[in-house]
Structure 1
Amino acid sequence: MVGIGLLAACGAPVAGRPVPAAGFGPATTPATSPSPLSLDGVNLCGLLTAEDLTPAGGLKGEPHKRTATFPEACGYPLGNGATSDIALVALHKPLSQVRQDQPAGHAETTLGYPTWLHCAVTDGYRTCTATVEVRPDRSLLVAVDKRDISEAALVRILQPLAERAVTRLPRA
């Protein structure tokens, strides 16, 4: 898991204007606010299923807590690829901090919730994260780390995972 540990690292600046990722919504304020979500007692290893992970290569083994990566995280080992391919769901810091930490990312929305999308490559592994603001003080980070994959292909995998994880969070 090379890339997920480096999520806070800044990537090199890319010329031009970011293009919204396929599937994520535009970074506009919706006409109605999305339902408030609760993070109390959330089972992070229950936010994604084996079926959800099929497009990412399928679940290879049991989901498990990844406290070395994030204090509150669950890693989902992926099959049909490199041995370190992984999906991750974590409770994370406020979205405003994530934006500062990842200036190469860009704003999107996930089911009406403000989202910061960021991708980076380290040692052949591409990591893309969708950090979704579910409360002003906390966000839900959904990440996929895969070897030898294009950014567009990885974002197409990440987007439905982020949506599924958000829809499984309890309403406040």
Structure 2
Amino acid sequence: MENIIILSGKVKYTITLDPTVWIFDDRKIDLNTYFSTTNEKSDELEKYTKSISKHWDREIMEGAIYPPTLKTEKKYEKEKMLTGSFGIPFQPFIKNAEPDENASSLIIRTASSEHEISLDIAKDLILGFSVSGKPLSEDGPVHVYYGDGSNQQNPIKSVREFIIK
């Protein structure tokens, strides 16, 4: 039960977070590249339309081609999961908890301290749950990174609870 983290406080729903299952979540991000690349917030529909259009154009010009590298891509993804460092955005969890209208801050309670940040900053947090393919058993279950990467070298560790005030 020490891997379970509770998101509670001024919320409509208390959320229980289990970082051990996030490796299978499609929302996970690669912490090795996330802070070094620029993150564009784009329209998902526009991105989807452009990718379909590009695919359609290619099929018209070349005909349907099935990729011969499907097996090697699966092997690469498996290797990446076994050796990668991953995190997950915190924003969907805040959204699902449905904070009160007058909620303004988030308290991150660790094993030894508390950190209070505004709810606007909290929506950009990244929860790191894996380093080099291993769960964070020593100082975990999660590390908290600010969305801008300002604490990338020194994240908030040993998180036990999130409380919305």
Taking structure 2 as the reference length, the TM-score comes to 0.26
Q: Which has the higher helix share?
A: 2
